[in-house]
Each structure stands twice: as C-alpha cells, then as structure tokens.
Amino acid sequence: MENILDVFNTAISFYNKFVGGYLLLLILVPAGIFFTFKFRFLHLKKFWHSFGILAGRYTKKGESGDVSHFKALTTALSATVGTGNIVGVALAIYWGGPGAIFWMWVTGFFGMMLKMVECTLGLKYRRFNPDGTVSGGPMYYMEHGLKDKLGKHAKTLAIIFAAAAVLCSMGTGNMAQSNSMTDILNSTYSIPHWLSGLAITGLVLLIVIGGLRRIAEVTSRLVPFMAAVYFIAALLVVILNIENLIPAFALIFRDAFTGTAATGGFVGSAFILTLTMGVRRGLFSNEAGQGSAAMAHAAAKTKYPMREGLVASLEPFIDTLFICSLTAIVIIMTGAWSHQDAEAGVSLTVLAFELGLGNINLGFLASHIIAVGLMLFAFSTIISWSYYGSRAAQYIFGFKAIKKYYYVYAVFVFLGSIWGLELVWNFVDMVITFMTIPNIIAILLLTPVMKKEIDSYFKSKHYREL
C-alpha cells in the first residue's frame, strides 16, 4: 500500500510542478487583472458599500434564498479561513521564501474581483430545489449561461467542474484540514492520529447531515470568534517584536522578484518557485477563481446578484490580505523562517509564536494557541466544504445523492487524518487546478453578462436608494 501511495504522490508532484502550477500562473492572475481593469477597480470603489450590504442595512423581508448575506459570507469564509492561513502560509515561506507572500497578496487583491464576478454569476443562475432550498454555483452558470456559446458542450463543462468540485471537497476542504488537525493534536497532546481522526469524523457527520442552515448557524458563530482569538495572539507577537516589523515588510518586497538564498531551516528558492508558491497558497487560502464560494453565496436571500457579488469580494480581503498576512509577518519578523529548527508545515508557525512570545516567557503557550486556532479554522472549513461537495454531487447524480455523499465525505475526513502531509498537500494542489481552469474559462466567456449586471444594478433605483 505504501509503495502505491509513493507512486501516486510522485505522479501528482510531477503534474503540479510541470503542468498545474504553470497553468494557474497563465490563467488565474491574468484573469484577475483583466476583470479588475475591465470593471475599473469596482471592488475598491464599492468597498464600503459592500460592508453596508453585509450588515443587512438594505435587506428586505421576504427575499428568496436560504441564508442572510452575513451567513452566506461566514459560510464561504469558514471554507477559506482554514489551514491555509496557518499551515499554507508557513509552507509558502518555507519553500518559496518571504517573497512568496508578496505574490500571495497579489493573488488576494485581484482575487477580490474574481470572487465578485463568480459569485454574482452564481446567484444569477441559481435554481430552487423541490424542498425549497437553493442550488447554485459554476455548474449552473456554465450550463445555462454558456448554452448559446458552447451548445451541448456547456453541460459537459459543467459536469467536469462538478466532478472536480467533488474531488476538491475531499482534498482542499477535507483531507488537508483533518490532516493538520490530527497532526497538531498528536504533536501537542500526544493523541494518536487515528483516535482524533475518528472523533473529528463523528462531529462532522453530526453537523453536515443538517444541511446548509445548520452549517451556516455554526459558522456564523465560529468564524468571528476564531478570527478574533487568532488576531489577538498574532498582534501580541507583533507588538513584542515591533522593531522587526518594517524589516520584515522590506524583506517580503525585496525577495518577491529575486527569490532567496537558503539560510537556516529555509529550503531556498529561485524566483519562479517564489512566484508559484505565493500564487498556489494564495489560491488555496481564498479560493478566488476556483468557483467554490459561488455555491454558498448563491443561497443568499436577495434578488440582486450584484449585491451578493459585492459581499463576496470581501472574502479575499479578510482571508488573504488580513489573516494570512498576520501569520506571514509573525513567521518572518521572528526569524522563524530561517531558524535552524524550522520545519515545513504547522511546526514553523508554532516555532514563530514560541520565538515571538519568548520575550515575556510565554513561549510555552505557542503550541496551545496554534492548536486551538488550527482546530477552529480547519473544522469550520471541513463542514463548509461538505456543502460545496454535496451541491456538486447533487448536480451530477441528483438530489438523492446528497446524503450518500456526506458518508463518503466522512470517510475521507478519516483518511486525511492518517495520511502523510506531503501526499495530502500535493493532492490538494492538483485538484484545485481541476476546478479553477474550467471556472476561469467560463467567467471569461460570461464577461458580457457580468457587464450587464453591473450596469443594471448601479443605474437602478435599488442602488440609488442606498
């Protein structure tokens, strides 16, 4: 069995290194740049308007949908605010150096516009199920929005995306999360991987069987709490090491275009590795362009697709430009990234907090802070991605497939908890490309539709009333 997994891992690594990674570079960031200039930096110009919508200031009773703007955002955020913010950032710096963070920021900035486009289209083409719930996302705007352009191939593209989404739910939103959770529980509290894996699997099943409303109820409480706890801990490290803050930013910008020579525990990188690691981890963190968040935002209670697109644009800002940046700054300003004891993964983030809190003899708390933060982040991601995967499974196999999917999903939660770190993360990088590439193609083809949505909303009385 071990030999088979090694062969599988080698094949995936080859794809990621020579195919998938370059495809993402060629399609993801350029698409974000295209939409940003095409729609004249709309995500920045309407930034505060997006917060007003999110706060429910303009919501009217009786609008169709499953959840509020706020719950749709927290559900989508809980899927993105996961191990990518703690483990993913550490991996980007370990393999790509501090400069990778610059490219992660670039991905996040242009990702705000990508997220706006895909989530606007996701709500525009959503469908209501027999039980009154909502299904939406890329598969629906591919099938119904591209029918005139692609004919029967529109449905084929939608099925390819949905199949990739099911696979990705098992990797991105599932195994990568449970793997990191059981790893931190084992290293911090010596709990066997299989035991914590079983416990996590049981908890996940209890929540996801209740569907989106129960998921949204949990995430709307969990996301603000977990973000606040992690922010306070990271801010304390920054304050205690404030003299290293400006040099840390200088290092990020300087190394973004040069790569970094290997020092200490850092592996070392050339420019292309710095670039690809930043883009990969940025995409894993905020999922902009991947199309996943469009499934959650499609369930929002509104009849104006543009409103939900504006709310969705806040995700990369909160996730990548804020929370991920905190982790990155802590790792770089404490010198953990180049420390002789540095190791790939969550251990690097723990080391950074140990070094950062050591000035006040609180370094012993580092592993507990990261353990709690990672558990909350990862668990919320697992339950939210179960919704994405279930909608994709429903699209392919019908409404009755949802419950069966949940049980298969639970099995992969356990598998992720006992598999090795490298295999899990290589699998994650691979399946992300399977979703992102067809989704980017679709939203580029639907640019005229998006233009009409923007023009009609901002010229209408619904916007002027705001």
What are the tens digits of pLDDT across the range 369-428?
888 878 887 888 888 888 889 989 999 998 889 889 999 999 999 988 887 666 777 777
Predicted local confidence at residue 1, as pLDDT? 57
Q: The domain that contains 203 carries what CATH number? A: 1.20.1740
Min mean pLDDT across 17-21, 96-100, 167-171, 333-337 is at: 17-21
Mean pLDDT of 291-318: 89
The whole domain housing 219 covers: 2-464
Q: Domain count for the chain, please give it.
A: 1
Task: Report the mean per-residue pLDDT for the chain.
Answer: 83
Q: Please, are residues 293 and 381 in contact by the beta-carbon 8 Å criterion?
A: no
Predicted local confidence at residue 333, as pLDDT? 93
11 vs 464: which has the higher pLDDT: 11
User: What is the distance of C-alpha 397 from the center of its chain?
Assistant: 26
* Whole-angstrom distance, CA of residue 390 vs CA of residue 393: 5
Mean pLDDT of 119-138: 88
Predicted local confidence at residue 458, as pLDDT? 87
Min mean pLDDT across 68-82, 175-189, 326-340, 439-453 is at: 68-82
Q: Write the DSSP assignment of 115-168 as a string of letters.
A: HHHHHHHHHHT-EE-TTS-EE-SHHHHHHHHSHHHHTTHHHHHHHHHHHHHHHH
Predicted local confidence at residue 264, as pLDDT? 47
282 vs 304: which has the higher pLDDT: 304
418 vs 308: which has the higher pLDDT: 308
Q: Which of 167, 138, 97 is nearest to 385 (CA)?
A: 167
Predicted local confidence at residue 186, as pLDDT? 87
Residue 219 has pLDDT above 70, yes or no: no
* Whole-angstrom distance, CA of residue 398 vs CA of residue 177: 27
pTM, full prediction: 0.84
% helix, strand, coil for the chain, step of 5: 80, 0, 20
Residue 178 has pLDDT above 60, yes or no: yes
Predicted local confidence at residue 122, as pLDDT? 94
Tokens, residue 24:
């993402």
